Structure 1
Amino acid sequence: MPELPEVSALAGFVAEHAGGQHIVGVTVASLNVLTTYDPPASALVGRVLVAGGRYGKFLDLVTVPDGEPDGQPLHLTVHLARAGWLRWSDKISAVPPKMGGPIALRVRFEGGGGFDVTEAGTKKSVAAAIVTDPSQVPGIARLGPDAMGDDGTGLTLDALKSALAGRTGRIKNVLTDQTVLAGIGNAYSDEILHTAKISPFATAGKLDGAVLESLHSAIVSVLSGAIARTVGAGAARLKGEKRTGLRVHARTGLPCPVCGGTVAEVSFADRSFQYCPTCQTGGKLLADRRMSRLIK
């Protein structure tokens, strides 16, 4: 799943490659991908891409009318969900993609380049919207404070304290709740908790003192490091760049690069997370419901 660093990189990549260009074609190739209908997708044709940004894990591409830099902006927002991605091509086909295939949305620019929003698998969760204000997208309107802060340099310690105050859920779940903190998903929450040496099952609202400071430092360092690794990376390389920087996520059974212990996993019906028992839980293995059922 693309998270804050990858979405930031995708926004910068599209802005670099298509900024200032006219949109010459928009094709919706999935019945479920577009969540808005007014204005229609065709309203983007003829407009100029002027900026790329993000809200949490939502990609935001900003367009204005041709010849009117101060005109009413239209935003194309895209949430790539778990299995979505953005594929850029310097010479994208003008032939519309087939309905029902892996391509959900295609946008073409005057320079011949463009991108496809794709989604693997049969569960279609990628969502796009065309709005005059990103806050009109319900998922964006519900976002909590950004995990990289208002200025993009990192969340403040006070903001983190406020976000976690009174939270009775496990810190792993709270970190990935976009209404609490925007931008962190399954992979980077694993990395953050490992860096901070905090159990994924710790109660979020009970973290204080040095533990909370360690969590704050880990959020800033892990996300800043991931963003630094993705700067200038092409869209096709971002997944690989993400994997190279992971220390525990998706590394079940491999040695922890910090202590040499074995990375463990907790599995659920449709997801899993990884942690190091030695670094994070005092050597204790966390309860894995799926494995418990198998043992019974």
Structure 2
Amino acid sequence: MPESPEVEALARFLDGEVSGREARSVDVLEFRVIKTRAAPPSSLVGASFTGARRHGKHIELTLDGRSLVVSLGRHGWMRWDAAIGTDAGDAAVESNPEQPPALAEFELSGDATMAVTDAGTWVSLGLFVVDDAREVPAIARLGPDPADPSFTRDVFEAAVGGRRKQIKAILQEQESIAGIGNAYSDEILHLARISPVAHAATLTEDERARLYDATVSTVRDAIAACQGVPIDELKAAKVAAMRVHGRAGEACPVCGGTIRDVTFSGASAQYCPTCQTDGEAL
């Protein structure tokens, strides 16, 4: 699942590439991705892109006063193809034939193509054409973003508070904290030395302080690490950087203990018993 660090890198890349380009044609290959039937993506033909930004795990592309919002869902991503030697410049990247097939393609001026893809067995990606990104319900409900300088300890406490809910679930709850998914929640909890099944209400002052610091540093450090990585390599770079997520059976990089996997409430987590649960296997 794309999370805020990779989506931020994608947004910054697209901001530099699409700005000033005109949408020449739109080809939607999977019509289930269209979420605004009265304003389909084809209505953007002839408009010029003015930039791109991130909202949580969503991409907003602005065009002459309107916005194309790409909700990446569980397996969505975007691909950029530009002819070498055109105005795309040195940042242009060629498509990887091993990537998932496109569900929609946008032909842009300057011999460039922007495509949206979905690697899942069911379509989780959505396209919205709106006047304001907040018209997209998921964006309107987004909580505070740890990447934002305004994400203070007080903001974090208001989101987490004394809630009687597992802390891993809260970290992934987009209405509470924007942009974090399954992978980075595992990384945050490992760094904070907190069990993934602990309830927020049971955390001590010291644990909440560690959790806040781990949330901010994990997200912001990952965003910094993503800069300069080609967008078709971001997923692999994310996997390679994980300390515990997806590493069940491997050695913990902190204590050398064995990372374990646990499934609960329909979710899964990877954690280190020595670092996070006082040696107890969940």
Q: Is TM-score (shorter-chain normalized) higher than 0.5?
A: yes
Runs of 4+ in 1 over 4 A off after TM superposition: 268-271
Contact 2:35 2:126 in 1 (8 A): yes
Cα distance between partner residues in 1 of 2:25 and 2:264: 41
Cα distance between partner residues in 2 of 1:241 and 1:41: 31
Residue among 264, 269, 275 paired with 1:273: 269
Q: Residue type matched to 1:35 in 2?
A: K
Cα distance between partner residues in 2 of 1:246 and 1:2: 14
Q: Hey, what does 2:70 align to over in structure 1?
A: 78
Q: Hey, what does 2:30 align to over in structure 1?
A: 30
- TM-score, normalised by the number of residues in structure 1: 0.86
Structure 1 residue 105 and structure 2 residue 97: aligned?
no
Q: Residue type matched to 1:56 in 2?
A: G
Structure 1 residue 54 and structure 2 residue 17: aligned?
no
Question: What are the equivalent positions in structure 2 for 1:134-283 lying under 5 Å apart?
Answer: 134-148=133-147, 152-153=148-149, 155-267=151-263, 272-283=268-279
- TM-score, normalised by the number of residues in structure 2: 0.90
Cα distance between partner residues in 1 of 2:119 and 2:227: 25
Contact 1:248 1:263 in 2 (8 A): yes
Cα distance between partner residues in 2 of 1:220 and 1:5: 12
Cα distance between partner residues in 1 of 2:175 and 2:273: 29
Contact 1:11 1:59 in 2 (8 A): yes
Structure 1 residue 285 and structure 2 residue 260: aligned?
no
**Matched position secondary structure for 2:278:** coil
Contact 2:18 2:51 in 1 (8 A): no
* Unpaired stretches in structure 1, ≥5 consecutive residues: 65-72, 93-100, 287-296
Cα distance between partner residues in 2 of 1:154 and 1:273: 29
Q: Hey, what does 1:3 align to over in structure 2?
A: 3
Contact 1:267 1:273 in 2 (8 A): yes
Distance of aligned partners of 1:154 and 1:187 in 2 relative to their CA distance in 1, 3 Å threshold: farther
Matched length: 267
Distance of aligned partners of 1:269 and 1:285 in 2 relative to their CA distance in 1, 3 Å threshold: same
Shift of 1:164: 1.0
Q: 1:97-142 CA deviation, whole Å, 9 max, x = no partner? A: xxxx932111121011122111123211111111001111111111
Contact 1:75 1:133 in 2 (8 A): yes
Distance of aligned partners of 1:85 and 1:270 in 2 relative to their CA distance in 1, 3 Å threshold: farther
Cα distance between partner residues in 1 of 2:246 and 2:264: 14
Shift of 1:40: 2.5
Q: Hey, what does 1:292 align to over in structure 2?
A: none
Q: Hey, what does 1:114 align to over in structure 2?
A: 113
Identity of aligned residues (%): 44
Q: Hey, what does 2:90 align to over in structure 1?
A: none
**Matched position secondary structure for 1:32:** helix
Cα distance between partner residues in 1 of 2:102 and 2:264: 29
Cα distance between partner residues in 2 of 1:269 and 1:210: 27
Cα distance between partner residues in 2 of 1:42 and 1:30: 13
Cα distance between partner residues in 2 of 1:87 and 1:43: 21
Distance of aligned partners of 1:269 and 1:113 in 2 relative to their CA distance in 1, 3 Å threshold: farther
Contact 2:24 2:46 in 1 (8 A): yes
Q: Residue type matched to 2:63 in 1?
A: T
**Matched position secondary structure for 2:235:** helix
Contact 1:91 1:114 in 2 (8 A): no
Shift of 1:270: 6.9
Cα distance between partner residues in 2 of 1:236 and 1:268: 32
Structure 1 residue 40 and structure 2 residue 40: aligned?
yes
Please provide the CA RMSD for this pair.
Answer: 1.8
Q: Residue type matched to 1:25 in 2?
A: S
Distance of aligned partners of 1:86 and 1:159 in 2 relative to their CA distance in 1, 3 Å threshold: same
